[in-house]
């Protein structure tokens, strides 16, 4: 930029801290940018508009330390921030304009709230004077998002901006993480004040417990020592707390089998014989059998969701329950815990470790329980029909074999999500990202984009530091043909940034999960689930965005297609698999039924002889 | 699903007991009213968040009263809600989880005083006034306004007393009733209560 018009010599690049220490007033927009830098933000996923134009202008002038990623729809920004947060453990950041810009993020905010994902969403707002006047692009986003945020702020004074940003990130990141909305009226952004980054956050009404209560931890240890048929039930909170390693160590030390929730996948390696895979509605039959017969259930960072428990009255009828969670409202919410332990999962497990059988003495003999589980595993393993037709499970298993399980799988919602959960065999923390609580179709593509940005940045940092950083894991986005189109616009961003995302479309030309329920529970009346008339040519669609596309229609070509896709390393690639329309996800606990009553195979006259 | 309910395991019975549910199948849950005093940040939206929590999570909200305290940065909220033990536990935890709440105290578990104020405007011709004030006297009510054809009473007391007074007034031509919602306070100082 030529400086000929500037009166004073331009400030050097490293100036901000000097400027703030001198207490020079700067614009609210600059305060926001400096605050994000101070917070260590790497990426801002955003979309400009009238109410935030000043922020974008200052970004252009300053050239901030973070990278702004221009998405193509604000919902994409929110999901990208979620994907980034899930893959890296950092807080995701979103910046959008007022009104429609803000409301377009609502689905992503609700999604982050349900799945405890730390994101901060900055929304533009009309000037303070116009609030409540039905001004152009006005929306009370604080009101709209009140029940789907951990907290929210409307900044009314530029002098409170920096401290509000600090509070927002603190609240989003700590305790049980979640989304925070910061609403920024246009006049506050234009106003000026010195930039002062506070050293501490003061929030007198906000607190969370780290260490578990000693007596409760001791009680849990006694319960574990007494149990004949104990079972670990590991949820997403374990991964949030970074407790994958210690859970694995404890399970192996005590020889207690492990089942994980959808969000717990990766916390315990599914390659381990102690692993029972996922439990719940589409969990393995043997995991659910183990739940129904265990005498002790050790719930770790899990929340007893209805997709896990089915009918709560009939769930785990013989089990005493130890429940470790950081959110007091989660404990005993759905099923009363015999031994509630409030605290950070990692910390509590570290407290528990020395007290457990196996730590100082030989682990308890659980061989009868192990034999029982092995019998169940043999009786009804996860299986699919190998009959020469292209089945989606085949694709997921081929992806696993290609990567050796070392990948970040970002699944969408529906059948594709369940197949991805059942058949990939997760072995590492943060290797599985999905929209579990809200079940947001259209999540996978933008979330994979956010994850890919985070993974690439980490690999580049590793190279720059010359540390022995692991090479960037491949990011695989697994979609159905329905959900893929819901945020397909982000293909443009993935292409522009040459993100090496492996995009998989399991195309069965149907809204498959709804179709499955229609077939099983609604008399095979396929009301509005056939997508054949409206589906595009997916390979041509990718080509329109400059992304190479591959189509696979035969089971014999699955491995070759994946091989070709993996040869492309300098950017994204899309693989469309034309899979069997009638394929269903099994086993299954019908909604609201008892976990003991699983459907293990297709309702089919041939099977009901 | 079978038509006859299977017998409950000891663990299932235990869970029902902990939830405050009836142990007999088919019986309604054991539901109690709870009075909860919340101290919260005196900031924009704080009250909204509390009220919103009740609708968003499907909790009952029978009464709310809010006002300033001796500390200008906080306000005090008295809520009355109903539910079994499990639901009340949830209400308390969810309230605690709000960033704006400083103290959440279910005063129902100890000795506490609870008061509500009501204003009742009754049509009253001059010849009816004596009878009306006679009733109000029994409730230690005050006349706060009088016009040629109406009287407005103020009655303060526990909700049962206020209900009884309004019930008596319905013998006459009640035009308007305004109730403050309940406010409550523990009988003891906090340190006494902790002992």
* Three-state SS annotation for A80-125: HHHHHHHHHCCCEEEEECCCHHHHCCHHHHHHHHHCCCCEEEEEEE
Mind listing the pLDDT tens digit for each residue in A174-218? 999 999 999 999 999 999 999 999 999 999 999 888 999 999 999
Nearest-Cα distance to chain B for A564, in Å, is: 49
Mean pLDDT score, A33-45: 98
Q: How many CA atoms lie within 13 A of A403 on its CB side?
A: 26
Quick one: fold of A392-586? Answer: Rossmann fold (3.40.50)
**What count of other Cβ atoms lies within 10 Å of the Cβ of residue A63?**
9
**Nearest by CB: B86 against A313, A332, A593:** A332
The token duo for A113 is: 């709230």
Which residues of chain A does B100 touch, with a Cβ-Cβ cutoff of 8 Å?
205
The token duo for A446 is: 């933008």
Element (H, E) at A202: none
d(CA A535, CA A415): 18
Task: Say yes or no to pLDDT of B21 above 80.
Answer: no
Q: Residue window 58-77, chain B: list those with CB within 8 Å of chain A.
A: none
- Strand bridging mode B101-106 / B74-83: unpaired
Mind listing the pLDDT tens digit for each residue in A272-326? 999 999 999 999 999 999 999 999 999 999 999 999 998 888 999 999 999 999 9
d(CA A346, CA A324): 10
d(CA A157, CA A318): 57
Give, as one character, the DSSP assignment of residue A576. E
Q: Which residues pair with B146 in a beta bridge?
A: B151
Has domain B113-184 been given CATH number 3.40.50.150? no
Please compute Rg for chain A using Cα positions: 25
Determine, for residues A338 and B40 on separate chains, whether the beta-carbon distance falls below 8 Å: no
- Strand bridging mode A432-433 / A475-480: unpaired
Task: Say yes or no to pLDDT of A14 above 50.
Answer: no
Mean pLDDT score, A398-411: 96
Q: What is the pLDDT of residue B85?
A: 87
What confidence tier does B16 reach under pLDDT thresholds 50, 70, 90?
confident
Following DSSP, what letter does each residue of A126-161 receive, concatenated? --GGGTTS--TT---HHHHTGGG-SEEEE---GGGH
What confidence tier does A421 reach under pLDDT thresholds 50, 70, 90?
very high
What confidence tier does B30 reach under pLDDT thresholds 50, 70, 90?
confident
d(CA B45, CA B100): 9
Which residues, 6+ apart, have CB-to-CB distance to A587 below 8 Å? A282, A283, A284, A285, A288, A380, A598, A599, A600, A601
Which residues of chain A does B14 touch, with a Cβ-Cβ cutoff of 8 Å?
336, 338
d(CA A331, CA A349): 17
**What count of other Cβ atoms lies within 10 Å of the Cβ of residue A459?**
15
Q: Which residues of A13-45 are buried (b: 16+ CB within 10 A; e: fewer)?
A: eeebeebbeeeeebbbbbbbbbbbbbbebbbbb
Which residues of chain A does B96 touch, with a Cβ-Cβ cutoff of 8 Å?
328-329
% of chain A beyond a pLDDT of 90: 85
Determine, for residues B90 and A319 on separate chains, whether the beta-carbon distance falls below 8 Å: no
Mean pLDDT score, A99-118: 98
Indicate if A583 belongs to the active site. Answer: no
Q: Which of A129, A136, A226, A385 is catalytic?
A: A136
Edge-to-edge order in the sheet of strand B74-83: B63-68, B74-83, B32-41, B101-106
Mind listing the pLDDT tens digit for each residue in A537-557? 999 999 999 999 999 999 999
Q: Report in angstroms the alpha-carbon separations of A453 from A287, A346, A445, A474, B6.
A: 35, 27, 13, 11, 53
Following DSSP, what letter does each residue of A519-530 receive, concatenated? HHHSTT--TT-B
| Residue B50 near residue B95 (C-beta atoms within 8 A) | yes
Higher pLDDT, B194 or B57: B57
Site of tokens 């400096």: A34
Mind listing the pLDDT tens digit for each residue in B121-135? 999 999 999 999 999
Mean pLDDT score, A131-156: 96
Q: How many CA atoms lie within 13 A of B120 on its CB side?
A: 29
The token duo for B38 is: 């919340």
Q: What is the pLDDT of residue A149?
A: 97
Lowest mean pLDDT among A117-126, A293-302, A569-578, A597-606: A597-606
Site of tokens 């010195």: A194
What confidence tier does A397 reach under pLDDT thresholds 50, 70, 90?
very high
Say which CATH superfamily domain B31-109 falls into: ACT domain (3.30.70.260)
Mean pLDDT score, A115-140: 96
Site of tokens 């299954």: A588
| Residue A345 near residue A242 (C-beta atoms within 8 A) | no
Higher pLDDT, B20 or A35: A35
Which residues of chain A does B73 touch, with a Cβ-Cβ cutoff of 8 Å?
none
Query: What CATH number should be reported for the domain whose range is A15-194?
Result: 3.40.50.970
Which residues of chain A does B98 touch, with a Cβ-Cβ cutoff of 8 Å?
205
Omega within 30 of 0 (cis) for the link into A587:
yes
Which residues of chain B does A328 touch, with a Cβ-Cβ cutoff of 8 Å?
93, 96-97
B113-184 and B31-109 share a CATH fold: yes
Which residues of chain A does B5 touch, with a Cβ-Cβ cutoff of 8 Å?
none
Task: Say yes or no to pLDDT of A7 above 70.
Answer: no
Nearest-Cα distance to chain B for A147, in Å, is: 6
Question: In the CATH hierarchy, which top-level class contains the domain A214-379?
Answer: alpha beta
d(CA A409, CA A399): 10
Q: What is the pLDDT of residue A598?
A: 86
**What count of other Cβ atoms lies within 10 Å of the Cβ of residue A109?**
31
**What count of other Cβ atoms lies within 10 Å of the Cβ of residue B178?**
11
Indicate if A74 belongs to the active site. Answer: yes
Mind listing the pLDDT tens digit for each residue in A476-529? 999 999 999 999 999 999 999 999 999 999 999 999 999 999 999 999 999 999
**What count of other Cβ atoms lies within 10 Å of the Cβ of residue A449?**
32
Q: What is the pLDDT of residue B27?
A: 60
Q: What is the pLDDT of residue A218?
A: 97
Which residues, 6+ apart, have CB-to-CB distance to A230 below 8 Å? A224, A254, A256, A257, A294, A295, A296, A297, A298, A366, A369
The whole-angstrom distance between residue A7's C-alpha and the CA centroid of its chain comes to 49
Site of tokens 């709209």: A144
Phi, psi of B116 (to 5 degrees): -140, 145
Q: Which residues pair with A136 in a beta bridge?
A: none
Higher pLDDT, A469 or B43: B43
Chain A residues within 8 A (CB-CB) of chain B? 142-143, 146-147, 150-152, 154, 156, 171, 203-206, 313, 316-320, 327-329, 331-333, 335-336, 338, 593-594, 597
Q: What is the pLDDT of residue A363?
A: 79
Q: What is the pLDDT of residue A13?
A: 47
% of chain A beyond a pLDDT of 70: 94
d(CA B121, CA B154): 9
Phi, psi of B152 (to 5 degrees): -115, 125
**Nearest by CB: A146 against B1, B12, B48:** B48
Determine, for residues A336 and B15 on separate chains, whether the beta-carbon distance falls below 8 Å: yes
Q: Which residues pair with B63 in a beta bridge?
A: B80
**What count of other Cβ atoms lies within 10 Å of the Cβ of residue A155?**
25
Task: Say yes or no to pLDDT of A608 above 80.
Answer: no
Mean pLDDT score, B42-55: 91
Task: Say yes or no to pLDDT of A412 above 90.
Answer: yes
Nearest-Cα distance to chain B for A88, in Å, is: 26
Where do you find CATH 3.40.50.1220 in chain A?
214-379
Which residues, 6+ apart, have CB-to-CB distance to A517 below 8 Å? none
Element (H, E) at A502: strand A501-507
d(CA A99, CA A104): 9
Q: What is the pLDDT of residue A544?
A: 98
Q: Which residues of A112-133 are buried (b: 16+ CB within 10 A; e: fewer)?
A: bbbbbbbbbbbbbbbbbeeeee
- B102 — contact with chain A (CB < 8 Å)? yes
Substitution target in A175, A336, A589 with the highest count of B β-carbons within 10 Å is A336
Q: What is the pLDDT of residue A466?
A: 64
Give the dihedral sign, CA A125/A126/A128/A134: negative
Nearest-Cα distance to chain B for A203, in Å, is: 8
Q: Mean pLDDT, chain B, as a whole number? A: 89
Mind listing the pLDDT tens digit for each residue in A451-474? 999 999 998 887 777 665 566 789
Determine, for residues B45 and A154 on separate chains, whether the beta-carbon distance falls below 8 Å: yes
Mind listing the pLDDT tens digit for each residue in A86-101? 999 999 999 999 999 9
From the list A47, A74, A92, A168, the residue with the least C-alpha distance to A451 is A92
Mind listing the pLDDT tens digit for each residue in A214-240? 999 999 999 999 999 999 999 999 999
d(CA A490, CA A68): 15
Determine, for residues B11 and A143 on separate chains, whether the beta-carbon distance falls below 8 Å: no
User: Can you give the length of chain B in residues?
Assistant: 195
Which residues of chain B does A319 touch, with a Cβ-Cβ cutoff of 8 Å?
11
d(CA B96, CA B91): 9
From the list B102, B35, B106, B94, the residue with the least C-alpha distance to B75 is B102
Lowest mean pLDDT among A43-47, B83-87, B166-170, B179-183: B83-87
Q: Mean pLDDT, chain A, as a whole number? A: 93
Q: Which residues pair with B120 in a beta bridge?
A: B153, B177
Q: What is the pLDDT of residue B23?
A: 67
Determine, for residues A317 and B48 on separate chains, whether the beta-carbon distance falls below 8 Å: no
Extents of the domains making up chain B: 31-109, 113-184
Substitution target in B5, B46, B97 with the highest count of A β-carbons within 10 Å is B97
Indicate if A186 belongs to the active site. Answer: yes
Determine, for residues A205 and B98 on separate chains, whether the beta-carbon distance falls below 8 Å: yes
Which residues, 6+ apart, have CB-to-CB distance to A589 below 8 Å? A280, A281, A282, A288, A310, A595, A597, A598, A599
Mean pLDDT score, B74-92: 93
Indicate if A489 belongs to the active site. Answer: no
Indicate if A513 belongs to the active site. Answer: yes
Nearest-Cα distance to chain B for A100, in Å, is: 22
Determine, for residues B19 and A150 on separate chains, whether the beta-carbon distance falls below 8 Å: no
Higher pLDDT, A404 or A591: A404
């Amino acid at each position: 930029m030529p400086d000929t018009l500037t009166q004073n010599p331009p400030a050097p690049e490293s100036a901000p801290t000097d400027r703030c220490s001198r207490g020079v007033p700067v614009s609210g927009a600059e305060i926001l940018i400096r605050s994000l830098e101070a917070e260590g933000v790497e990426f801002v996923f955003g979309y400009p508009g009238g109410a935030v134009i000043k922020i974008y202008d200052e970004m252009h002038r300053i050239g901030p330390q973070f990278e702004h990623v221009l998405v193509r729809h604000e919902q994409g920004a929110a999901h990208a921030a979620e994907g980034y947060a899930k893959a890296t453990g950092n807080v995701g950041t979103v910046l959008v304009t007022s009104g429609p810009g803000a409301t377009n993020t609502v689905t992503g905010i609700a999604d982050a709230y349900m799945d405890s994902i730390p994101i901060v969403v900055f929304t533009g707002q009309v000037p303070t004077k116009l609030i409540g006047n039905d001004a152009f692009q006005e929306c009370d986003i604080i009101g709209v998002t009140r029940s789907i945020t951990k907290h929210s702020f409307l900044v009314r004074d530029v002098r409170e901006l920096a401290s509000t940003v600090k509070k927002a990130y603190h609240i989003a990141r700590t305790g049980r993480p979640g989304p925070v909305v910061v609403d920024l009226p246009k006049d506050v952004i234009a106003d000026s004040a010195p930039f002062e980054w506070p050293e501490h956050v003061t929030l007198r009404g906000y607190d969370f417990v780290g260490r578990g209560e000693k007596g409760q931890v001791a009680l849990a240890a006694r319960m574990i020592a007494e149990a004949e048929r104990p079972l670990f039930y590991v949820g997403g909170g374990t991964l949030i707390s970074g407790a994958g390693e210690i859970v694995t160590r404890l399970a192996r030390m005590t020889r207690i089998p492990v089942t994980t929730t959808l969000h717990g996948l990766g916390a315990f390696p599914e390659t381990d014989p102690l692993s029972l895979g996922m439990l719940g509605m589409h969990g393995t039959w043997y995991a659910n059998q183990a739940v129904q017969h265990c005498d002790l259930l050790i719930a770790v960072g899990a929340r007893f969701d209805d997709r896990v428990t089915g009918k709560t009255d009939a769930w785990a009828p013989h089990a005493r329950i130890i429940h470790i969670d950081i959110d007091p409202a989660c404990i005993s919410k759905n099923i009363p815990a015999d031994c509630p332990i409030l605290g950070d999962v990692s910390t509590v497990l570290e407290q528990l470790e020395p007290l457990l059988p196996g730590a100082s003495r030989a682990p308890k003999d659980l061989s009868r329980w192990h034999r029982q589980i092995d019998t169940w595993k043999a009786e009804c393993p996860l299986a699919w029909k190998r009959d020469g037709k292209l089945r989606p499970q085949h694709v997921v298993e081929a992806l696993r074999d290609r990567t050796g399980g070392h990948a970040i799988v970002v699944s969408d919602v529906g059948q594709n999500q369940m197949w991805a959960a059942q058949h990939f065999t997760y072995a590492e923390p943060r290797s599985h990202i999905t929209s579990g609580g809200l079940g947001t179709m259209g999540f996978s593509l933008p979330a994979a984009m956010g994850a890919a940005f985070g993974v690439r940045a980490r690999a580049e940092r590793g190279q720059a530091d010359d540390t022995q950083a692991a090479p960037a894991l491949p990011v695989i986005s697994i979609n159905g043909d329905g959900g893929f189109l819901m945020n397909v616009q982000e293909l443009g961003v993935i292409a522009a940034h040459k993100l090496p995302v492996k995009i998989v479309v399991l195309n069965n030309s149907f809204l498959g999960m709804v179709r499955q329920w229609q077939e099983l529970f609604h008399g095979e009346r396929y009301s509005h689930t056939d997508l054949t008339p409206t589906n595009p040519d997916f390979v041509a669609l990718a080509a329109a965005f400059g992304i190479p596309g591959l189509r696979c229609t035969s089971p014999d070509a699955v491995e070759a297609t994946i091989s070709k896709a993996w040869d492309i390393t300098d950017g994204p690639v899309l693989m469309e698999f034309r899979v069997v329309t009638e394929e269903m996800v099994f086993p299954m606990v019908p909604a609201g039924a008892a976990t003991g009553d699983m459907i293990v195979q297709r309702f089919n006259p041939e099977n009901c002889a | 699903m079978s038509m006859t309910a299977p017998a409950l395991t000891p663990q299932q019975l235990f869970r029902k007991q902990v939830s405050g549910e009836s142990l007999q199948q088919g019986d309604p849950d054991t539901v109690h009213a709870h009075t909860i005093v919340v101290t919260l940040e005196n900031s924009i939206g704080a009250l909204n968040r509390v009220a919103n929590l009740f609708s968003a999570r499907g909790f009952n909200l029978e009464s709310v009263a809010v006002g300033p305290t001796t500390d200008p940065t906080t306000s005090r909220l008295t809520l009355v809600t109903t539910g079994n033990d499990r639901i009340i536990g949830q209400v308390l935890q969810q309230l605690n989880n709000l960033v704006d709440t400083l103290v959440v105290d279910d005063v129902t578990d100890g000795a506490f005083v609870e008061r509500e104020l009501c204003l009742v405007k009754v049509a009253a011709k001059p010849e009816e006034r004596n009878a009306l004030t006679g009733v109000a006297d029994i409730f230690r009510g005050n006349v706060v306004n009088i016009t040629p054809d109406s009287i407005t009473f103020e009655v303060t007391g526990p909700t049962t007393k206020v209900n009884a007074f309004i019930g008596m007034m319905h013998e006459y031509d009640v035009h308007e009733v305004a109730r403050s919602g309940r406010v409550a306070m523990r009988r003891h100082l906090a340190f006494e209560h902790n002992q």
